[in-house]
Structure 1
């Protein structure tokens, strides 16, 4: 059997899991050969053109939290637990900020991939609801062991804070490898909660009475607390765990607030350092790229300076001798012998002789000569005769 999808065909390899409404299969893409998880709905549909069932192709993860801790005896390192809970709180914070709450947070729905540095992803969004949807919601939601008191004691009047209660139960289970409140039914579930946390105050119970016509005449219990059940965890982790399973949802910690808890201080610091380093690398890349662009885009003024600097660094070298050459005298017959005139004197325009082959810098020059004519020049001018050429007439368009 092959699964047909819009982006190609997928070959089933084996069954990973099964839920109430769907089966999860491991499949291989016939297009790229990679493995994917396929969530295939059990409900079939038929129409005039097509018939079949809906299949969702997702990333294939290694395992879920339940499979990780099942049958395990050696406790997980606290840093690993911290890393998992930090990612879980970040996923819930992202969902809640975007107006959605999960309603079915439990170990089976939390997936892990070891090849990506213990990446954790929250899955199975079949029970999600909008934060802004109108109450009451479905009463029998979430798996019983991870169901918050407001879900058990009201007619569907609960909020996104139920996800934090479920996360606190998962936190305890990752640490101890045992469920925190394994009730056999709803009444036993409430009893298990009171055994650990104690009977809540009347003020808290009155909030639940407003939405459900039932007697809340619970026997008084002090509660054992969490410490006897998880004696080896740090005070900060115990503090966060208590904040997540606060009986009163109004006092219960939110996902964004949980991320700021001292328990995650080390991870927040490492995350900030990684972000800062990434920004510095991006800034350095941008600077190098801008310098490369500037080398090709030189402004006009800069272009002239660049050309002048290039000329000074690489002066133009003329071919031939660099000393003065005396030209040969010309003998022209039929020309009146002219008297030589005194040549005007020029000062050198170069401050120092150019001995290194470079073009020296020119200095302002000043002409020094004489405006007085000699007697011989005057006699020569007076002895010259003027001649006029006859006018040429045009004939037939020519000359």
Structure 2
């Protein structure tokens, strides 16, 4: 049998058998492959579930951290805190504001000699001082803290972080920090600037030329351009916060209300910022989602103010401020009201529409300035464009060009506080003159006067109340009153003066009701950066008399501050 040739059919049967065996093995391989794929899918699902659980845990931890005090400022590690305390920083400051002071060494308060007080606010005082080590004249901003409240320290820490981020010739430079062992205070050291724009503008002997206005505005917009490029909103542009040195250089100062912003990921912010006369309509209407337009509106008010010689919209209340804005800039369209969805839109919406009359009101301004003012004072913040666009406008590219800062006149030191002192002295002399003349008001009239607050006092009081309320309630909302109908618009109280003679026909002639401006032949000197208390005004509160030990009566008065609301 061995050696017998294999037939064709037998060989074919063997091949079929081998194929069937291979097919069985192939099925097993396929079966094994499907099992491994199922295992991999289950493993991937388990990994996804673990990742989701980890993300949920991280979110829960972040939520717990956000519920702690000072969510925006992370406390430094213990070793960093120890290093800062060893370097001389107070422990309470390192705990709350460790990130703001990181890398800096504190100066001692006794290394500076105070020369004079040059500014005052609700939460800070500013002094002219001399550095005893270098002999350099500096400005010291003393920040007070009430019982070391974390909220107060947080505001100061944010201001320091913002100042450290900015570096521009038209932005004030923070040169150092000073601590005091005797009190819970912190001093911010700045370069000394001899003037501020409000003080110069309030001086009766100073009137700016067109080229000088262009010089100041170019520096202001350049500083704002730098701030906005670094994602910083100033939120309190006004004359008293624009410092000027003897070389004519303007620097933006006082970043106490400033805030960081991200144009791509907007976060809600408070609307209770910017001094009332320079506050844009969207903030008056309660907007919490805003951007660089708030600073550009204030810059537009400053530009028109410098050219007009007086503030253009000095409202006493939020309602009156909106009233003045709509009279000058026109009331928003129905489309704007629907699109904006502002919280106070239904409350403040006027009963009739107003025509925009910027060109008619400012017809005596340089023609090249009108398009820029019209853009900066646009009701819709999107139409105000940017500081860069403003710098490229026709106003700066036509003659007369902006003069060089070094060619500006040299003025004696002049700040807003000096203007206040001049006003107080003038009122004191007027009061003394009336007393010597034997003039005495009738009792019923005196009572009526006391019942009507002076416009300046009203605005001052509102600003202070807003500031105190918002330091404890960061998200407080303003209590608004209904927009007054046109026939009820009028003025009660003392007439507002102007720094320079202005034609009483300044307001638009087509407005069918009286404005809140009234004028007298003897207009008092008026500063530009906000309302001031006029003790001689009709309705100003009388001073209380207190008897001293020598039997003489002395009047006692309190000073108020008009700074904007902190968030």
| Residue 203 of structure 1 pairs with residue 335 of structure 2 | yes
| Alignment correspondent of 2:137 | 35
Kindly tell me: are residues 217 and 101 of structure 1, through their superposed partners in 2, closer, same or farther at Cα, counting changes over 3 Å? closer
SS at match of 1:13: strand
Conserved 8 A contact 1:161-1:252: yes
Shift of 1:37: 0.6
- Structure 1, unaligned stretches of length 5 or more? 272-399
* Distance in 1 between residues matched to 2:399 and 2:218, nearest whole Å: 8
Q: What does residue range 227-376 of structure 1 map to in structure 2 within 5 Å? A: 227-265=359-397
| Alignment correspondent of 1:56 | 188
Per-residue displacement from partner, 1:216-259 (whole Å, max 9, x unpaired)? 54133434623454443211111111111110011112101111
SS at match of 1:199: coil
Shift of 1:203: 1.4
| Residue 189 of structure 1 pairs with residue 291 of structure 2 | no
| Residue 13 of structure 1 pairs with residue 145 of structure 2 | no
| Alignment correspondent of 1:373 | none
Give the aligned CA root-mean-square deviation in angstroms: 2.9
Conserved 8 A contact 1:75-1:176: no
Between structure 1 and structure 2, the one with the greater Rg is 1
Shift of 1:7: 9.7
* Distance in 1 between residues matched to 2:337 and 2:205, nearest whole Å: 38
Structure that is richer in helix per residue: 2
* Distance in 1 between residues matched to 2:302 and 2:398, nearest whole Å: 21
Shift of 1:19: 1.4
Structure 1 range deviating more: 30-39 or 126-135: 126-135
Kindly tell me: are residues 254 and 267 of structure 1, through their superposed partners in 2, closer, same or farther at Cα, counting changes over 3 Å? farther
Per-residue displacement from partner, 1:114-136 (whole Å, max 9, x unpaired)? 3x2x1110000111111217432
Report the TM-score, using the length of structure 1 for normalisation: 0.61
Per-residue displacement from partner, 1:275-314 (whole Å, max 9, x unpaired)? xxxxxxxxxxxxxxxxxxxxxxxxxxxxxxxxxxxxxxxx
* Distance in 1 between residues matched to 2:400 and 2:367, nearest whole Å: 18
Shift of 1:197: 1.2
SS at match of 1:126: coil
Kindly tell me: are residues 267 and 64 of structure 1, through their superposed partners in 2, closer, same or farther at Cα, counting changes over 3 Å? farther
Q: Which of 123, 130, 147 is residue 260 of structure 2 equivalent to? A: 130
Conserved 8 A contact 2:319-2:348: no
Shift of 1:208: 2.9
* Distance in 2 between residues matched to 1:224 and 1:246, nearest whole Å: 10
Shift of 1:74: 5.6
Q: Which of 82, 87, 110 is residue 242 of structure 2 equivalent to? A: 110
Bigger relative contact order (CA 8 A; separation at least 6): 2
Conserved 8 A contact 2:211-2:401: no
Conserved 8 A contact 2:200-2:206: no
| Alignment correspondent of 2:552 | none
Conserved 8 A contact 1:72-1:177: no
| Residue 148 of structure 1 pairs with residue 273 of structure 2 | no
* Distance in 2 between residues matched to 1:129 and 1:200, nearest whole Å: 28
Structure 1 range deviating more: 53-62 or 4-13: 4-13
* Distance in 2 between residues matched to 1:256 and 1:204, nearest whole Å: 25
| Alignment correspondent of 1:222 | 354
Q: How many residues align?
A: 266
| Alignment correspondent of 2:221 | 89
Conserved 8 A contact 1:131-1:160: no
| Alignment correspondent of 2:289 | 157
Structure that is richer in strand per residue: 1
* Distance in 2 between residues matched to 1:261 and 1:81, nearest whole Å: 15
* Distance in 2 between residues matched to 1:157 and 1:228, nearest whole Å: 32
Shift of 1:215: 3.8
SS at match of 2:397: helix
Kindly tell me: are residues 71 and 51 of structure 1, through their superposed partners in 2, closer, same or farther at Cα, counting changes over 3 Å? closer
Conserved 8 A contact 1:45-1:53: no
| Alignment correspondent of 1:389 | none
| Alignment correspondent of 1:70 | 202
Kindly tell me: are residues 239 and 9 of structure 1, through their superposed partners in 2, closer, same or farther at Cα, counting changes over 3 Å? same
SS at match of 2:382: coil
| Residue 80 of structure 1 pairs with residue 212 of structure 2 | yes
| Residue 119 of structure 1 pairs with residue 276 of structure 2 | no
* Distance in 1 between residues matched to 2:325 and 2:266, nearest whole Å: 28
| Residue 139 of structure 1 pairs with residue 271 of structure 2 | yes
Conserved 8 A contact 1:240-1:258: yes
Structure 1 range deviating more: 240-249 or 71-80: 71-80
* Distance in 2 between residues matched to 1:129 and 1:32, nearest whole Å: 33
